[in-house]
Structure 1
Amino acid sequence: MKLFYFLLSGLVIFTSNLVLANDHITVTDKGLVIRFEAAPDGTKVLRLEAVTSEIFRVSATSKSEFKETNSLMVKEDLSYEANWQHEIDADTLRMWTDKVTAHVNLKTAEILFKDPSGKIILKEKTGGGRRFDSASTEENSYSSFSQHFQKNEAEGIYGLGQHQAGLFNYRDRHVDLTQYNGVAVVPFMISTNQYGLLWDNNSITKFGDTRIPEPISKLTLQPGLEDDAKGLKAIYASDRSNPTKGLERLESTIAYTDLPSLKNLPEFDQHRGAVTWTGYITPEHVGIHTFKLIYSGYIKITMNNQVLMDTWRESWNPGFEEFDYDLSSTATAVKIEWIPESDQSFLDLSYLKPLEGKEEDLFGFASEAGEYLDYYFIYGEEMDDVISGYRTLTGKAKIMPKWVMGFWQSRERYKTQEELLETVRNFREKQIPLDNIVQDWSYWEEDAWGSHEFDKDRFPDPEAMIKEVHDLNARIMISVWPKFYEGIDNNRVMDEKGMLYRQNIVNQQKDWIGEGYVSTFYDAFNPAARSMFWDQLNKRLFSIGIDAWWLDATEPDIHSNASISQRKTLMDPTALGSSTAFFNAYSLVNAKGIYEGQRKAAPDQRVFILTRSAFAGIQRYSAATWSGDIASRFDEMERQIAGGLNFSLSGLPYWTTDIGGFFVEDKYDRPHPEGDALDEWRELNTRWTQFGAFTPLFRAHGQYPHREIYNIAPEEHPAYQSMLYYNKLRYRLMPYIYSITGAVYHEDNTIMRPLVMDFKDPKVRDIGNQYMFGPSIMVTPVTVYQANTKAVYLPKHAGWYDMYSGKFLEGEQTITAEAPYERMPLFIKAGAIIPFGSEIFHTAERMQDEILLFVYAGNDGEFCLYDDGHTDYAYENGQFDKILISYSEQDKTLKINERVGKKHQNRVDKIDFKVIVIDRDKPKPLDFDQIPDFSFSYTGEALSIKLNN
């Protein structure tokens, strides 16, 4: 690496008003270290390094030196490859590559980044945007700190993992980055202003508006307009059919957030009762207030007779919501109605007042603990470039086994060996495509959680069960928790070696199984513990044929609904240090142990992991994430779309959700739904299946009622017919889907693509309920019960086609799309080339020897058809096929380029192509039996076909 130094140290030291220390600049092979005497934001040492031409690392500390640590999220073999230069001019230090210039203000220590044209991409807060404080941990070396940046005009901000409030664009929002069941934290954001930020910190972090939400007691609360009393009038009724009669009291705070806080509830029948709060709110500051809600049970919130929230969440797993309301100087009438449904339901209401002055123009990260402030700035002309930069830092996303891209059937849970096998047999007999059956938890004996052994009474021959699944051309995934009951052998061995978190054992805290058992989790931050955990799984499960791993409760959820302080205590200390400092990273190191263990045990078999929690870098361990234990409701389904899109924009390409939702309202529960509830249940599962077929992983799961298609509706019912249609369509699309899976690894691509990734249309920046599935298919899920139309925005483009009819539609308009019960609106962009395969019922049924190629005219386009060994790692060594297919609108010519790549075990010598051409004047339906316009065979040499003959 050649470096050019323009070091004017004498001039800088003696220039007036600078705050640099003596020997203030040190040049290293990676960048510069700058020392300050009195930077206004407390920075004493600032480090600026160039990783690549597009990526800069910024580190800062309020101490005299950096205490170096190994990053968990950044890959261990990261190489610094940038050619960079620097110079000092007056009070500014400039360090640049051919893509990015970083400017350091030597008075304030603030940094701004510019592109080659001189345009500001990102600027730290004017005057210095950092803050350092002592962290509240037993480790004195930790600090808490924050970094704030200036917002760019109208930029959209996305990523940050998966969150459940239904928000898409995080500009002007507060985002709590705390791991939780349903919340997957990835401290990486991406902007429409051509940059991303990876915040390298493992502790609980606040993003955006980093203020801590305040309890509603900070507002002026009155039970009545003429009442001098302070607070809202609360009625705790033990009979929800008569909610106005019950215990009355004034309450200024609604903060029943976790188990410790529930003791503040008065005595009333929570199973049958209801609580109502009424009164008036007057704010200290007039303007739009953001109300933050943690809730379970039914909640309805009304202000000035406007319903702002009306939803439900299972009692044992509270959800997160927020809403905005413009509070004026006059009192606002408020009514809050809560049906808790159990004695472990939760409700917390807090708020953020309007920002004022210059604070409105800022966003930032604020973390609880770390050795020093550390972030990576990533520049990219397109969002795909920024995500590629994220993976440069944190690791490539692996290609999943091809069977993973098929349909998975699961339920909570198959209680016996015969139940599981009968399900697979039914799918095969009924000719419903299936690739994976999932065995959820409690397959062990009741008192043997963590043994990883099947209960012999219910699963008498696990090896024979697995063999039959394989003989039926399916795979089996199994639920594995990092949890161990006190007294079992695996617990004892790990405990003797100091590999377990001890506090839950000391507390003798029992779980919810039977009469309850005492348990704890292993310390996944300990490399030896990870190795032992894998050895246990290998001995009991992998060695008998288990194909993949479902890693549950990886937040880690040692004791559900404990307070944050309790959760920290239960996982403290970790092998790396305080739980405060490493709170968010458990899922990453847990997945690391499984991935590394299996790759060593079976080097030629692709690892597949599904984990409930996630963290930056987990994609390099062949891990996907699902959205947790969500509710079976239409509004919950809608929230999943924005959650999945932001997860994808966090650089993690493999995401899934429980089709149908995990936990159901009473109207759907045992013995079975009836009447209107049955109709709604079937439609909910139909609409969710339509959506799920166009997510990276296609997976049905949930509690009772059973989620198999034939248990939801009879074969002649439109629900059954629609679910089967989309299942089969997914398999027809397998050449397309597996090709974009290959592009995830080879081109750092993204499967589930928010419209903002592909269209320079400002109208798409807030659209979080439509998206592209791969490069060509726009998906518009229907999330309203009994809806038969959907408002759809067609982005500015050369044009769009209705996928089913082939009808052409102009872009840059909102249409009312037909959405009958059986169909979800799907649109194809002009210029798309979509390869469909033959009808199959599992992914290994047929090689890629026949392709039906739909070409949508109206614009130039291309598609790279990909194939490889499907289940091995030979693709890492170049053993794969890439066939670039392109279409020229001007020439009306289709080109099939020469096949590139090394031969692999699934290569076919000849591919038969059948081409269907759709244009605005000749719409054609999505019919796989129609006579093709052109047919030809391809043997690997380049071909060119005129499509206007």
Structure 2
Amino acid sequence: MKRILTTLFAALTVVAANAQKTNGVELTAADMNINVTFYSPDIIRVTKAPVGTKTTEMKSEVVTMSPESSLSVAVSSTASAVRLKSTSLAVTIDRRTGLLSFAANGKPLLKEKATAFETRTKGTDKGRYIVSMTYQLDKDEAIYGLGTVQDGKLNRRGLSKRIEQSNLEDFQNIIQSVKGWGIYWDNYSCSQFDDNAQGMTFKAEVGDCADYYFMYGKNADGVNACIRQLTGDVPMFPLWTYGFWQCRERYKSSKELLEVVDKHRRLQVPLDGIIQDWQYWGNNYLWNAMDFLSEQFTDGKQMIDRVHKQNAHIMISIWASFGPQTQQFGKLAEKNLLLPIETWPQSGLSHLWPPRMDYPSGVKVYDAYSPVARQIYWDHLKRLFDYGIDAWWMDSTDPDFFNPRESDYDYKTTMGSWRGVRNLFPLATVKGIYANQRKASADKRVFIMTRSAFAGQQHYGAGLWSGDVASTWDMLRKQVPAGLNYTMTGCPNFNTDIGGFFCGSYNNNGAGSAPRNPQYQELYVRWMQYGLFCPVFRSHGADAPREIYQFGKKGEPIYDAIESTIRLRYRLLPYIYSTAWQVTSADESYLRALTYDFASDKNTWNMGDEFMFGRSILATPILDPQYTEEKIFKEDAMSGWDKKEVKNEKWKDGKIDFSEEKTVTKYLPKGADWYEFYSEKLHKGGRNVTLATAIDRTAMFVKAGTILPLAPVMQYAQQSQWDNLDIIVYPGSDAVFTLYEDEGDNYNYERGMYSTIEMKWNDKSRTLTIGDCQGTFPGMLQQRKFNVRLAGSDIVKPIGYKGKSVSITL
């Protein structure tokens, strides 16, 4: 095998500094052709390939940006180096080794350490390379991102991980540093990531060259902005998506689903979404037929209409695979657009577990890399869209891949070998849905939940959920840093199955009894209080139904705790939807690791159990049991389906006093002061504090210098307009908040049809100014009332507002 390393002491010849190419250089060093191109003053693309390699300029499937046409960088050369400098970044290329180093304002940011190419000698990818790039980090430098690694850690230092999409872990090939730089490794193959004493390395199993983008954003927000500039912005989700979603594996009839919506309305428990999981299509041979073929769902269209009449929305399960008796399977097979890999479900008999392999399902994954296949997919999915389905639950977008063989990886898809494009699959399939729905209608925003994601997926109306996670405190603890790291790849929309997917180990008093088991009750409530801070707030799982009334009745502590959390979510909707606008318009994030805002406080660098929810709320979820003992067991995405017989463990039924007040210790970041949300007690930052907690209180703080709008509790997100908002001012610093409103759905906001109201708090003069309403949209409020209160005071001052600036002193 031919092996070319940048550490070889080969002579360097500058082939071209191309006077016409003012935004970069091409040169040869260490037997490599090196191309360095500035896409913007903050973003640089670097490619390296062995001399003599025949490579063609391929369009990235992720990068949507082109180099800025007016950009010009200064290029200088000495006997030992070539240097390029923009207004923000400087990159130096060592003439002898071909290694690059990056700096800003004279401050070193990152250095390459080695590049390696190993020729592949067999299979579909013969003649291509195993490619690796190693970088040198500072000893104590913290790094984040990569994807949803379920190891419970925030900082990626010391991580060794195979990069291949799966049910529980997903990868975006993006790393960012606490120093304010980021890297996107533009390669779609199965890979390996390692950070150790030798450096930080991306090693791809297939590539024609090393290809990466270096970004300098100065901080986490800035890096995310660079990522989205490079790979696409974040479209708005509808307002109703931020309400509460109920689901289970699975509603087995339309009657069962409708009963859930009806009961929420009768109980006056807020609800905006219901989800129909798999098998509404019938048996496994009809897998993912995208139609209501089951005898229990023959009234599918009427079911959807009933949901809508109840002022709720419906999401439905669709997959990346098809059963052999579906229409889609036939059309895809005819065009050789089905992959030969073994996938879920393995057996055609859906009612038996473990799978009866002597009755194979014949289900095959479609070739999502093919535009023809994506069109066939949508042509059949449009039937559900025309029925009125509001949103898509795209399951197994990893996709499930069982018993992999070398021949599977060698299989040639439309874009290349399965090995070479494996990790791109979730982006390819989601992109197809987004593009086609946008063509079909501008009246309904695309809302997709997907089980897997790749870089750039934020641009296609998609949010990730973290897969079939086990119902354990350990797994709850792991969701927090997983979501934060996912956000730090530029993808802001993350959620989990509230309560964990597999809760069967708590069914020790009969099947489906977990919601009456205090051990599970406490876990579920605390998971819900974490879920409160996720962009999508959704209860889902197998083994036992999770609707609020399964846990008891009103007046009982667990029921009341669940209800109060749901009601708080609806109170926060103006804050959440306004944050959503900042995500779309200003490249901000919902889930903000503390390093976003408090990077100067080194205590935050490794903190994966607290985070900012938007700019103002410090989420400090309780991630350990306080009332019961932790039930410890291990479950993965397959073993969870084994319906084991659980011993009839005796819990102290009725003996757990969930009304008892507890305490928890939380760290408050340095650089701000903090108000307890419920008591409004003020604390200095930079220290641990003891917080009084209860089962029905979400552990959270509000930053001093905050204007927080709160809506009245509604039964669904668009039950009424925000004509009577509470405005709570948390003094201690000046504050600004922009209230955003639009029609709640459709894409008119992209044409400027929305409004904003900027509110400013002057801490010195104790004055709140509510500015002029900017913008307009159909049906917008012309006048409203704001009920203003200063945190720590009971005095409420109402303000009549008619769209013109008004001030009040508190």
Please give the TM-score of this superposition, normalised by the length of structure 1. Answer: 0.77
Pairing of 1:547-586 with structure 2 (within 5 A): 547-557=390-400, 559-560=401-402, 562-563=403-404, 565=406, 568=409, 572-586=411-425
Aligned to 2:232: 395
| 1:864 partnered with 2:708 | no
Aligned to 1:792: 666
Aligned to 2:77: 88
Q: Which residue of 377, 385, 400 corresponds with 1:533?
A: 377
Aligned to 1:908: 781
Alpha carbons of structure 1 residues 808 and 826: separation in structure 2 relative to 1, 3 Å: same
| SS of aligned partner of 1:638 | helix
Aligned to 2:201: 364
Q: Measure, in 2, the Cα distance between the counterparts of 1:143 and 1:680.
A: 52
Shift of 1:393: 0.5
Q: Could you tell me whether the CA contact under 8 Å between 1:706 and 1:712 is conserved in 2?
A: no
Shift of 1:669: 6.1
Shift of 1:832: 1.0
Shift of 1:670: 7.5
Alpha carbons of structure 1 residues 833 and 512: separation in structure 2 relative to 1, 3 Å: farther
Q: Deviations over 1:768-822 (max 9, x none)?
A: 0001111111111112122533221101123111100011111110122222222
Q: Which residue of 126, 132, 146 corresponds with 2:117?
A: 132
| SS of aligned partner of 1:740 | helix
Q: Could you tell me whether the CA contact under 8 Å between 1:444 and 1:455 is conserved in 2?
A: yes
| SS of aligned partner of 2:595 | helix
Aligned to 1:6: none
| SS of aligned partner of 2:287 | coil
Shift of 1:58: 0.7
Shift of 1:422: 0.5
Alpha carbons of structure 1 residues 944 and 163: separation in structure 2 relative to 1, 3 Å: same
Aligned to 1:633: 472
Q: Deviations over 1:371-410 (max 9, x none)?
A: 2111111111221011000000110011111111110000
Q: Measure, in 2, the Cα distance between the counterparts of 1:867 and 1:399.
A: 12
Shift of 1:677: 7.6
Q: Deviations over 1:301-332 (max 9, x none)?
A: xxxxxxxxxxxxxxxxxxxxxxxxxxxxxxxx
Q: Measure, in 1, the Cα distance between the counterparts of 2:449 and 2:421.
A: 21
Q: Which residue of 190, 208, 214 corresponds with 1:204?
A: 190
Q: Could you tell me whether the CA contact under 8 Å between 1:54 and 1:378 is conserved in 2?
A: yes
Shift of 1:67: 2.2
| 1:383 partnered with 2:220 | yes
Q: Measure, in 1, the Cα distance between the counterparts of 2:683 and 2:217.
A: 31
Q: Could you tell me whether the CA contact under 8 Å between 1:30 and 1:51 is conserved in 2?
A: no
Shift of 1:147: 1.1
Gaps of 5+ in 1: 1-16, 210-354, 925-929
Q: Could you tell me whether the CA contact under 8 Å between 2:280 and 2:294 is conserved in 1?
A: no
Pairing of 1:122-271 with structure 2 (within 5 A): 122-125=110-113, 129-135=114-120, 137-209=123-195
Q: Could you tell me whether the CA contact under 8 Å between 1:670 and 1:705 is conserved in 2?
A: no
Alpha carbons of structure 1 residues 520 and 890: separation in structure 2 relative to 1, 3 Å: same
Aligned to 2:86: 97
Aligned to 2:616: 776
Q: Deviations over 1:3-52 (max 9, x none)?
A: xxxxxxxxxxxxxx982337344355463343326x1xxx5111101111
| SS of aligned partner of 1:538 | helix
Pairing of 1:879-890 with structure 2 (within 5 A): 879-890=753-764
Aligned to 2:367: 523
Q: Which residue of 541, 549, 553 corresponds with 1:714?
A: 553
| 1:843 partnered with 2:717 | yes
Shift of 1:488: 2.8
Q: Measure, in 2, the Cα distance between the counterparts of 1:680 and 1:939.
A: 51
| SS of aligned partner of 1:862 | strand
| 1:418 partnered with 2:255 | yes
Cα RMSD (Å):
2.1
Q: Which residue of 499, 506, 511 corresponds with 1:660?
A: 499
Q: Deviations over 1:227-282 (max 9, x none)?
A: xxxxxxxxxxxxxxxxxxxxxxxxxxxxxxxxxxxxxxxxxxxxxxxxxxxxxxxx
Q: Could you tell me whether the CA contact under 8 Å between 1:18 and 1:91 is conserved in 2?
A: no
Q: Measure, in 2, the Cα distance between the counterparts of 1:442 and 1:693.
A: 29
Aligned to 2:440: 601
Once the two structures are overlaid, the 10-residue window that deviates more, 408-417 or 856-865, is 856-865
Aligned to 2:279: 442
Aligned to 1:491: 329
Q: Measure, in 2, the Cα distance between the counterparts of 1:917 and 1:856.
A: 6
Q: Could you tell me whether the CA contact under 8 Å between 2:190 and 2:422 is conserved in 1?
A: yes
Alpha carbons of structure 1 residues 20 and 627: separation in structure 2 relative to 1, 3 Å: same
Q: Could you tell me whether the CA contact under 8 Å between 1:450 and 1:491 is conserved in 2?
A: no
Aligned to 2:50: 62
Q: Measure, in 2, the Cα distance between the counterparts of 1:907 and 1:134.
A: 62
Please give the TM-score of this superposition, normalised by the length of structure 2. Answer: 0.90
| 1:34 partnered with 2:19 | no
Q: Measure, in 1, the Cα distance between the counterparts of 2:65 and 2:619.
A: 37
| SS of aligned partner of 1:741 | helix
Q: Measure, in 2, the Cα distance between the counterparts of 1:887 and 1:29.
A: 49
Shift of 1:139: 2.6
Q: Could you tell me whether the CA contact under 8 Å between 2:495 and 2:534 is conserved in 1?
A: yes
Q: Measure, in 1, the Cα distance between the counterparts of 2:595 and 2:514.
A: 42
Aligned to 1:622: 461
| SS of aligned partner of 2:498 | coil
Q: Could you tell me whether the CA contact under 8 Å between 2:514 and 2:520 is conserved in 1?
A: no
Q: Could you tell me whether the CA contact under 8 Å between 1:668 and 1:681 is conserved in 2?
A: no
Shift of 1:166: 0.8
Q: Percent identity?
A: 35
Alpha carbons of structure 1 residues 549 and 669: separation in structure 2 relative to 1, 3 Å: farther
| SS of aligned partner of 1:584 | helix
Aligned to 2:686: 812
Once the two structures are overlaid, the 10-residue window that deviates more, 378-387 or 659-668, is 659-668
Aligned to 2:572: 733
| SS of aligned partner of 1:443 | coil
| SS of aligned partner of 1:900 | strand
Amino acid at match of 1:548: A
Q: Which residue of 381, 388, 395 corresponds with 1:545?
A: 388
Q: Could you tell me whether the CA contact under 8 Å between 1:137 and 1:580 is conserved in 2?
A: no
| SS of aligned partner of 2:84 | strand
Aligned to 1:939: 802
Aligned to 2:339: 501
Q: Measure, in 1, the Cα distance between the counterparts of 2:175 and 2:345.
A: 40
Q: Could you tell me whether the CA contact under 8 Å between 1:30 and 1:49 is conserved in 2?
A: no
| SS of aligned partner of 1:585 | helix
Once the two structures are overlaid, the 10-residue window that deviates more, 20-29 or 713-722, is 20-29
Q: Deviations over 1:71-120 (max 9, x none)?
A: 1111266755533121112211111111111111111111111112x011
Alpha carbons of structure 1 residues 913 and 83: separation in structure 2 relative to 1, 3 Å: farther
| SS of aligned partner of 1:434 | coil
Q: Measure, in 2, the Cα distance between the counterparts of 1:670 and 1:491.
A: 43
Q: Deviations over 1:533-561 (max 9, x none)?
A: 0000002x11111111010001111x44x
Alpha carbons of structure 1 residues 745 and 78: separation in structure 2 relative to 1, 3 Å: farther
Shift of 1:689: 0.9
Alpha carbons of structure 1 residues 676 and 472: separation in structure 2 relative to 1, 3 Å: closer
Aligned to 2:95: 106
| SS of aligned partner of 1:458 | helix
Gaps of 5+ in 2: 1-8, 628-661
Once the two structures are overlaid, the 10-residue window that deviates more, 18-27 or 623-632, is 18-27
| SS of aligned partner of 1:531 | helix
Aligned to 2:650: none
